[in-house]
Chains A and B, each alone.
Chain A
Amino acid sequence: MSEARRRASPYIVAALIVAADAYLCIKNPQDLDRLLINAMLALSAFATLHARLLSLASAGFAAIGAYASAILAVKLGLPVYLSIPAAALVCGLVALVIGLPVLRLKDVYLAICTLGFGEIVRVSIILLPGLTGGSTGANLSTGFAYEAMKKTKTWTLALALAFLCYLFWAASRSRAGRALRAIRENSEAAETMGIDVVAYKNMAFLASALIAGLAGAFYAHSVGSLDNGDFKFNRAVDILGYAVLGGSGAWFGPTLGAGFLTALPILLRDLLGSAIGFLKNFAQLPNILNGLALMLVIIFAPGGIAALFARAPVRGAFLSVPPPLAPAAGITDKVGVADKAGVAEAPARRAGAEGKPFLSLKGVSRSFGGVEALAQVSFDLEEGKIYGLIGPNGAGKTTLINLVSGLMPPSSGKIEWLGREIQGRRAHRIARSGIARSYQNIQLFGEMSALENVIVGRHTHMRSGLAAAWLRLPSQKREEAEAREEAMGLLSRLALGSIAGQEASKLSYGDQRRVEIARALAMRPRLLLLDEPAAGMNEIETAALGDFILELQGHGVTILVVEHHMDLIMKICDEIVVLNFGRKIAEGPPQAVARDEAVLEAYLGRA
């Protein structure tokens, strides 16, 4: 396909969807309300999918919103346009009650919980006939007709949808939007960047509920009567279909997805109905199309329609081999923007724990099932030194880093950081207190650029919230620009300036490692945990990395480095801790450790 056609194709798709919807609405003007409400519901599902959550609660929240606003408007006499946001708030409260316990667990629990939630809402509607009209007879369908109902105008609905789209658009360009993308790509790495993943997921779930409630309330006042069958489980799946087809990547996806799936069955019936007779009365057609859309999109085009609009990848990025580092230049690109972006301003905050050890492990153990990966390991770290953590494979080195960075709690023992016990604290809090890390198996946010990856590292040092992004305050823009500049500076220092705009997953292995280090440094840590930073690097690159680590030490950063390159360890470390089968077998300055009997035995075996 030619470049021009590739660029034009998403716009053609969008235009076709708009044309189909225009046909729909001209034929039956009432369908415009339906279309807008579907788009709003899709936006509600998008809010959760965007945060990598599978929620089927949108239909249930829409039901609550619909009945709440109807009751407020009709039984309590609230003005209609006041009853709509009030109903959304009711949904928000319910979402907090459900979300707080469930979103701490694995994602699948939210899916299950929201499945049951829809059922509870349906049962509650039937059980409260005084308020909702309940059910008549066994078919569970009854009206909540209200004669006094004032209808809403279509333009208010359109305005509300446009406003919501604006909120999503503005948020997607902010610190919060970046954090959500990071969570979507790698929630564990996001957590160790100091992003409170659970809080963001709760926020996404809350937003989803508010929007669904709003859509439901508009539905009630658009149709003028309610039926508990309006929000049955199939509806939840419809909504998911809109959002998945639209794509979870961009704010305009849900509207396009809803536009397509709302129009498609009617279009098919009108266009092909005369040729294929049974289409005319094929009641299941919308559902079957929806199911097909869900499966086909998720298998063949997981980005949905929105992905068509995504920026074209840098041409040839797959093939370009990064130029080998010139030995003289080494890793630290000293000509670059360098020192302006002070790597380590953090030590200026050095305070508090005078006399107490910087980091102290006391009898730390961790077992997996019956296997003890770490057993009673104790040692102290002093501020400003470089520590090496070595040992044969399976000695428990990565486990130790995972414990210190909070990815898992120790089975027993204490970890004291700046005089406070931090074992069992969640990783994002530990990250905020000044501990950053890199990973043995690289954990970058693969679809974000190298630069964006590093900016995520600035998350905890930025202040702008959603409100600032929505109001497009100058302070927020300034902060974004500063973060960008600082991230650029860090990349330049690591000789990565030229690849800053490239997608992280497409970078070479060595570059990815260095982007990870830059990302960790963007957090301005006081303690940096490096898990095999030189893996996959050649001798020259390794030596340059060593110089860089020494330079970091010069800026006052304390470093704990896990490495198999013994040359590197011997050259840069002030102290070495040796683990074997989860136990500490030696500790001391490099020369002493190198002569240690137990260490020699662990590495070479006893002759």
Chain B
Amino acid sequence: MDLSFFADPVFLVQNLVDGLSRGALYGVFAMGFTLIFGVLDILNLAHAATFMWCAFAGWFVMAAGGLPLPLGLAAAMLAGAAIALVLELLAFRPLRREGADKLSSMISSIGASLIMVSVAEAAFGVQTRRFPDKVLDPKPFFIGGSGGVRISRAQILILAASIVLMVGLGLFIRRTRMGKAIRAVAANQKAARLLGIDVNGVIVVTFLVAGALAGAAGILVALLTNNIVPGMGGQIELRGLAVVILGGMGNIEGAVVGGFLLGLVETLTIAYLPGGSDIKDAIAFLILFLILLVKPNGIMGRGKAERA
């Protein structure tokens, strides 16, 4: 058995690059998840279905419509925002109006997710959709010659886009008036309403932002894997949940850090652990369960796990 790859620095750097770009995707996806949870205290289990529909939207614009990449990105994010808005209006707001509990919202979002995935299956069939090469040149760059570290254009795009989105969301939440209103609603809806904040308006904005993040994640994953199918949301949903718990429910910085961590752990496990690729689907759950056992508030320690 050849174990020399353990000592190979190129192999290690290669895996770090792959892990970070994978983790960036998890982070972008999980930010939307955790944003909704932080503000509304509900889990939007249709987030992954939104993600999938946005990948299709981006594909239609770029592959079928022949439009360039920036427009495809924008279309996916717009589609995500629009879908999230519809979800808020049809699946969540009616329940809030009735004063229903959080459980009902989760169940409603599960129903919505099932409908969205089933309609996609009926509309798009099971065959895989791929991007033509002109959308994004699949030829990777090599750092350090042809035997060196390989990095694809999709990976560069992912790392750049995710950093822009992460920093952008951080600034939006911390520095803008609307961000302040979102934080106020997250802290105490009733008090925010008494202070004259339009709570429903703030919640709509929250959904728009979370949906746009799902859209970005959708199109970026589609570009990386070049494999667009109705079932693609299931793959990332559990990972997104693991990341959200890892970072602490409702904690945006935590989702970013957790995303990168999960991406790295997954990639390195596959690379260095014998049989690692067999268990890669289970890693997210193992992390999730361990965190729940040991540190339910997440690694950043600011979640809201304990009973009130």
Find A291's partner among B112, B288, B292 (CB 8 Å cutoff). B112
What's the A-B contact tally at a CB cutoff of 8 Å?
Answer: 134
Minimum CB–CB distance from B250 to chain A (whole Å) comes to 11
Contact segment of B94-102, B160-168, B205-213, B254-262: B94-102
The CA of A244 and the CA of B114, in the complex, are separated in Å by: 15
Establish whether residues B111 and A119, one from each chain, have CB atoms under 8 Å apart when the complex forms.
Answer: no
Known: A112-B43, A113-B289. 16 other contacts (CB 8 A): A52-B103, A102-B292, A106-B305, A106-B306, A108-B106, A111-B106, A113-B292, A116-B285, A119-B284, A241-B111, A282-B122, A284-B118, A284-B122, A291-B110, A295-B111, A295-B115
Name the residue on A nearest B234 (C-beta).
A233
Contact of B78 with A by CB under 8 A: no
* Chain B residues near A117 (CB-CB < 8 A): 285
Establish whether residues B103 and A113, one from each chain, have CB atoms under 8 Å apart when the complex forms.
Answer: no
Contact of A292 with B by CB under 8 A: yes
* Chain A residues near B112 (CB-CB < 8 A): 291, 295
* Chain A residues near B90 (CB-CB < 8 A): 295
Contact of A167 with B by CB under 8 A: no
Which 10 A-B residue pairs are closest in the complex by CB-CB distance? A294-B111, A291-B114, A291-B115, A116-B285, A295-B111, A284-B118, A287-B118, A291-B111, A284-B122, A288-B118
Contact of B251 with A by CB under 8 A: no
Given contacts A240-B107, A302-B100, contact A288 B94 (CB under 8 A): no
Contact segment of B17-25, B129-137, B214-222, B241-249: B241-249
* Chain A residues near B278 (CB-CB < 8 A): 127
* Chain A residues near B45 (CB-CB < 8 A): 111, 115
Establish whether residues B114 and A112, one from each chain, have CB atoms under 8 Å apart when the complex forms.
Answer: no
Could you tell me the dominant secondary structure of chain B's interface residues?
A: helix
Given contacts A123-B279, A284-B121, contact A116 B242 (CB under 8 A): yes
The CA of A115 and the CA of B110, in the complex, are separated in Å by: 11
Establish whether residues A284 and B238, one from each chain, have CB atoms under 8 Å apart when the complex forms.
Answer: no
Establish whether residues B91 and A295, one from each chain, have CB atoms under 8 Å apart when the complex forms.
Answer: yes
Establish whether residues B107 and A54, one from each chain, have CB atoms under 8 Å apart when the complex forms.
Answer: yes
Establish whether residues A240 and B110, one from each chain, have CB atoms under 8 Å apart when the complex forms.
Answer: yes
The CA of A291 and the CA of B108, in the complex, are separated in Å by: 8
Given contacts A101-B293, A111-B43, A112-B43, contact A237 B102 (CB under 8 A): no
Find B306's partner among A105, A108, A283 (CB 8 Å cutoff). A105
Contact of B104 with A by CB under 8 A: yes
Establish whether residues B118 and A291, one from each chain, have CB atoms under 8 Å apart when the complex forms.
Answer: yes
* Chain A residues near B241 (CB-CB < 8 A): 112, 115-116
The CA of A108 and the CA of B115, in the complex, are separated in Å by: 22
Establish whether residues B114 and A107, one from each chain, have CB atoms under 8 Å apart when the complex forms.
Answer: no
The CA of A98 and the CA of B289, in the complex, are separated in Å by: 9
16 contacting pairs across A/B (C-beta < 8 A):
A108-B249, A109-B305, A112-B241, A113-B289, A115-B241, A116-B242, A116-B285, A119-B284, A120-B282, A234-B114, A291-B110, A291-B113, A295-B108, A295-B111, A298-B95, A408-B308
Minimum CB–CB distance from B295 to chain A (whole Å) comes to 11
* Chain B residues near A98 (CB-CB < 8 A): 289
Contact of B153 with A by CB under 8 A: no
The CA of A127 and the CA of B281, in the complex, are separated in Å by: 11
The CA of A120 and the CA of B94, in the complex, are separated in Å by: 34
The CA of A505 and the CA of B161, in the complex, are separated in Å by: 52
Contact of B143 with A by CB under 8 A: no
User: What 0/1 pattern do residues 109 to 147 of A give for CB contact below 8 A with B?
Assistant: 101110111011001100100000000000000000000
The CA of A291 and the CA of B245, in the complex, are separated in Å by: 26
* Chain B residues near A107 (CB-CB < 8 A): 102-103
* Chain A residues near B119 (CB-CB < 8 A): 284, 288
Find A105's partner among B100, B115, B121, B305 (CB 8 Å cutoff). B305
The residue among B37, B45, B118 with the most chain A CB atoms within 10 A of its own CB is B118
Establish whether residues A109 and B104, one from each chain, have CB atoms under 8 Å apart when the complex forms.
Answer: no
Minimum CB–CB distance from B183 to chain A (whole Å) comes to 13
* Chain B residues near A295 (CB-CB < 8 A): 90-91, 108, 111-112, 115
Establish whether residues B279 and A127, one from each chain, have CB atoms under 8 Å apart when the complex forms.
Answer: yes
Minimum CB–CB distance from B46 to chain A (whole Å) comes to 10
Establish whether residues B118 and A112, one from each chain, have CB atoms under 8 Å apart when the complex forms.
Answer: no
Establish whether residues A302 and B104, one from each chain, have CB atoms under 8 Å apart when the complex forms.
Answer: yes
Q: 8 Å CB contacts to B: which residues of A401-432?
A: 408
* Chain A residues near B104 (CB-CB < 8 A): 298-299, 302
User: What 0/1 pattern do residues 74 to 91 of B give for CB contact below 8 A with A?
Assistant: 000000000000000011
The CA of A105 and the CA of B297, in the complex, are separated in Å by: 10
Establish whether residues A120 and B285, one from each chain, have CB atoms under 8 Å apart when the complex forms.
Answer: yes
Establish whether residues B282 and A119, one from each chain, have CB atoms under 8 Å apart when the complex forms.
Answer: yes
Q: 8 Å CB contacts to A: which residues of B13-44?
A: 37, 42-43
Contact of A293 with B by CB under 8 A: yes
Minimum CB–CB distance from A554 to chain B (whole Å) comes to 37
Minimum CB–CB distance from A369 to chain B (whole Å) comes to 10
Contact of A290 with B by CB under 8 A: yes
Minimum CB–CB distance from B266 to chain A (whole Å) comes to 14
Name the residue on B nearest A127 (C-beta).
B278
Minimum CB–CB distance from A247 to chain B (whole Å) comes to 12
The CA of A283 and the CA of B122, in the complex, are separated in Å by: 8
Name the residue on A nearest B242 (C-beta).
A116
Find B111's partner among A56, A108, A123, A293 (CB 8 Å cutoff). A293
Name the residue on A nearest B93 (C-beta).
A299
Find B281's partner among A113, A119, A233, A244 (CB 8 Å cutoff). A119
The residue among B98, B100, B289 with the most chain A CB atoms within 10 A of its own CB is B289
The CA of A295 and the CA of B282, in the complex, are separated in Å by: 30
* Chain B residues near A123 (CB-CB < 8 A): 279, 281-282
Q: 8 Å CB contacts to A: which residues of B117-131?
A: 117-119, 121-122
Establish whether residues B285 and A237, one from each chain, have CB atoms under 8 Å apart when the complex forms.
Answer: no
Establish whether residues B306 and A54, one from each chain, have CB atoms under 8 Å apart when the complex forms.
Answer: no
Establish whether residues B95 and A290, one from each chain, have CB atoms under 8 Å apart when the complex forms.
Answer: no
Name the residue on A nearest B286 (C-beta).
A120
Name the residue on B nearest A126 (C-beta).
B278
The CA of A138 and the CA of B101, in the complex, are separated in Å by: 41
The CA of A120 and the CA of B242, in the complex, are separated in Å by: 13
Name the residue on B nearest A234 (C-beta).
B114
Q: 8 Å CB contacts to A: which residues of B26-72?
A: 37, 42-43, 45
The residue among A233, A288, A295 with the most chain B CB atoms within 10 A of its own CB is A295
User: What 0/1 pattern do residues 131 to 163 of B give for CB contact below 8 A with A?
Assistant: 000000000000000000000000000000000
Minimum CB–CB distance from B118 to chain A (whole Å) comes to 4
* Chain B residues near A111 (CB-CB < 8 A): 43, 45, 106
The residue among B107, B119, B241 with the most chain A CB atoms within 10 A of its own CB is B107
Minimum CB–CB distance from B154 to chain A (whole Å) comes to 22
The CA of A129 and the CA of B305, in the complex, are separated in Å by: 38
Contact of B307 with A by CB under 8 A: yes
Q: 8 Å CB contacts to A: which residues of B262-299?
A: 278-279, 281-282, 284-285, 288-289, 292-293, 296
The CA of A130 and the CA of B285, in the complex, are separated in Å by: 23
* Chain B residues near A106 (CB-CB < 8 A): 304-307
* Chain B residues near A233 (CB-CB < 8 A): 234
* Chain A residues near B110 (CB-CB < 8 A): 56, 237, 240, 291, 294
Find A292's partner among B115, B292, B293 (CB 8 Å cutoff). B115
Minimum CB–CB distance from A411 to chain B (whole Å) comes to 14
Find A288's partner among B106, B115, B237, B296 (CB 8 Å cutoff). B115
The CA of A123 and the CA of B276, in the complex, are separated in Å by: 13
The CA of A102 and the CA of B102, in the complex, are separated in Å by: 17
Establish whether residues A116 and B284, one from each chain, have CB atoms under 8 Å apart when the complex forms.
Answer: yes
Establish whether residues B114 and A294, one from each chain, have CB atoms under 8 Å apart when the complex forms.
Answer: yes
Name the residue on A nearest B90 (C-beta).
A295
Name the residue on A nearest B104 (C-beta).
A298
Name the residue on A nearest B97 (C-beta).
A299
The CA of A279 and the CA of B115, in the complex, are separated in Å by: 16
The CA of A120 and the CA of B284, in the complex, are separated in Å by: 10
Establish whether residues A294 and B305, one from each chain, have CB atoms under 8 Å apart when the complex forms.
Answer: no
The CA of A365 and the CA of B305, in the complex, are separated in Å by: 22
Find B107's partner among A104, A298, A408 (CB 8 Å cutoff). A298
Establish whether residues B292 and A101, one from each chain, have CB atoms under 8 Å apart when the complex forms.
Answer: yes
Minimum CB–CB distance from B95 to chain A (whole Å) comes to 6
The CA of A124 and the CA of B241, in the complex, are separated in Å by: 20
Name the residue on B nearest A111 (C-beta).
B106
